[in-house]
Structure 1
Amino acid sequence: MVTPTQLPPSRLQRQLSLLSAHLVVALVALVGIGGATRVMEAGLACPDWPLCYGSLLPRRQMNLQVFLEWFHRLDAFLVGVAVLVLFGASLLQRRGLPAWLPWLGGATLVLVAGQGALGALTVTQLLPSGIVSAHLITALTLVALASGIHQGLAAPAEFPADAVAGPIEPSELLRPSVDGAPFWWGWLSGCALTAVLGQCLLGGLMASQWAAGRCFGSGEACGWLLAHRLGANPAAVLVLALPLVALLPGWPRRQLPLALFAGALVALQVLLGIASLRLSLAVPVVTVAHQLTAALLVAVLAALTARGLRRPPLSVFNPLELA
């Protein structure tokens, strides 16, 4: 039995890592553009689907609202192509890639297909609240999944297929991950990620029903606004716990930059939420920045979760020892 060593990623793995990084950026942009489309009431600017006014590029009808909806669909199409390439490569070259990649790539492809179907329903069913909210939370789930995939591909290559690791013992929970954090760090990050996704779902339900505007204007639907504000507290506490824990003496500092970034994002998110309410949602750029920051926060928390859950095997079987 020998101690495992980390191997540098293969060329293909580096290329797919770069593709997944671009995919994260495209998905975060997709969420931001979707927020702008909703705020500008451009969700039905293109009355048909998947074309817009029966054309790939509706030049004659083009205005700001049509552009937002058209560009939102274009970004979604490019995301679909990137995911298809990622999944295809993970299948065709699976022997030289991490074993988990085809599974996560397939799950991402299924989510993208479902996201496309939800996008079509938002137009054909005239923006029903439930479908619009499902459209948002699916997009954020894709952000998290793509971010986790990128972290896995950017890491050193997996250990050889003859690696032998026994079942997880309780003592292994304290064994550092590949990135130098104890095993429970991934679960803490995962809890923060789940809380933020739940908060985003509440925000999506509130926004899709225009609950904030109705509450300010006529005192209706204020329950959604209250639920969103109350849900922000536990989510913020969990996220802010990450940089505080990472600052404890004796901790490796590899997790600290991302943890600090997550803390900064949640602080910015709270400030943007307060500003949007103080401004009665009258400044679209603040509302869109609020949703864009949420997408960035999901990506960072998913990266921290993936790093924390990635553990090396206890040992590697060396066939030369039998010679």
Structure 2
Amino acid sequence: MTAITFQAPASRRAVLGALSAHLLVALIALVGIGGATRVMEAGLACPDWPLCYGSLLPGRQMNLQVFLEWFHRLDAFVVGVGLLVQAAVSWWWRRELPRWVPWLSAAALLLVAVQGGLGALTVTLLLPFSVVTAHLVTALLLVAVLSACTQVLLQEPFTTPRLPSSRRGWLSMAWPWFIGAVALLALAQCLLGGLMATQWAAGRCLSSGEGCGWLLAHRLGARPVALAVLAAAALVFWRRPPERLLAGLAALAVLAQIALGVMSLRLTLAVPAVTVAHQLMAAFLVAVLAALLSRSFLSPSLQEFSHG
């Protein structure tokens, strides 16, 4: 009886953790599909919403553009249902889960509802750049919340108590705020990129010299964000060994993001796969930074800054 008492919560936590991790992967893929829909100018390929040409499956009108928009909506619906299930189950099991899980699951469900509304407005209002940008930023916020929730679920329960604040160094206490600032910088850079992309500023700048201010702002913003992410990764490798994998992923992601950005400009945006990969990598970077932020608040390894 004792074994069952202690194993049941761990089993339920593992099940929810697996569901959250799968939904996170699906959500990052969904951001990539959304990027492909925009790059291929398929945002209005289905002229109505939520159906497509008045049908669940528009067989007669199906082409690449219609497929992208239709599949984007289908994937969003599946992810939304998954988040609804996760939120309901986490609240049902809330007494056996970390206290933040139900709240993060509810926040993710709220964001996906907002995202659905913005998706509808992008079609009914004929793709206004402000709504399309809000649609992208909301998707990235959803990625961040779900990534944090996944880390809370997958994190091993504390086996050692944290040190009191008086015995921890200033660096350990400032660390969560530093990671939070880096994550906000990355989100701000994504917002700049979204504003640039939804106004087709890069293409207009390269072809006719218009809209270059957005492109310049995005390129200038990339430097401090990259330096901040690399500095955070270096600090993790120095004093937080349990999080070195996440730090390595963050460093690789930001370097790949810079390379993809440069490549897309040198190719004059003529290769859609590179542009889509740039947006996909942005979502992955946000997910990794959110995971680091979550672990910085929850992990007992905060002690490592004042030891070793």
**Pairwise CA RMSD:** 2.5
Alignment counterpart, residue 283 of structure 1, candidates 251, 271, 285 = 271
Please say if 1:108 is aligned against 2:98. no
Match of 1:78 in 2: 78
**Structure 2 CA distance for partners of 1:311 and 1:296, relative to 1, 3 Å:** closer
Contact 2:237–2:247 (CA<8 Å) still a contact in 1?
A: no
What is the rounded CA distance, in whole Å, between the counterparts of 2:192 and 2:92 in structure 1?
40
Whose relative contact order is higher, 1 or 2, with alpha carbons under 8 Å and at least 6 apart? Answer: 1
Please say if 1:24 is aligned against 2:12. no
Which structure shows the higher helix fraction? 2
CA displacement at 1:98 relative to structure 2: 1.5
Helix, strand or coil: the match of 1:41?
coil
CA displacement at 1:43 relative to structure 2: 0.3
Contact 1:8–1:157 (CA<8 Å) still a contact in 2?
A: no
- 1:172-321 correspondence runs (5 A): 172=168, 182-248=172-238, 251-311=239-299
Helix, strand or coil: the match of 1:255?
helix
CA displacement at 1:165 relative to structure 2: 9.3
Match of 1:316 in 2: none
Identity %: 60
CA displacement at 1:184 relative to structure 2: 3.3
| Deviations 1:262-306 (CA, angstroms, capped at 9, x unpaired) | 111111100110011111111101100100111111111111111
What is the rounded CA distance, in whole Å, between the counterparts of 1:259 and 1:188 in structure 2?
14
| Deviations 1:14-65 (CA, angstroms, capped at 9, x unpaired) | 0000010011101100110000000000000000111111111111111111
CA displacement at 1:211 relative to structure 2: 0.5
Match of 2:56 in 1: 56
What is the rounded CA distance, in whole Å, between the counterparts of 1:101 and 1:199 in structure 2?
28
Report the TM-score, using the length of structure 2 for normalisation: 0.90
Contact 1:183–1:308 (CA<8 Å) still a contact in 2?
A: no
What is the rounded CA distance, in whole Å, between the counterparts of 2:205 and 2:244 in structure 1?
40
CA displacement at 1:68 relative to structure 2: 0.6
**Structure 2 CA distance for partners of 1:237 and 1:278, relative to 1, 3 Å:** same
In the alignment, structure 2 segments of 5+ residues that lack a partner are: 1-6, 301-308
Contact 1:258–1:304 (CA<8 Å) still a contact in 2?
A: yes
Aligned positions, number = 297
In the alignment, structure 1 segments of 5+ residues that lack a partner are: 1-6, 176-181, 313-323
Match of 1:146 in 2: 146
Helix, strand or coil: the match of 1:254?
helix
What is the rounded CA distance, in whole Å, between the counterparts of 2:167 and 2:162 in structure 1?
14
Amino acid at match of 1:134: A
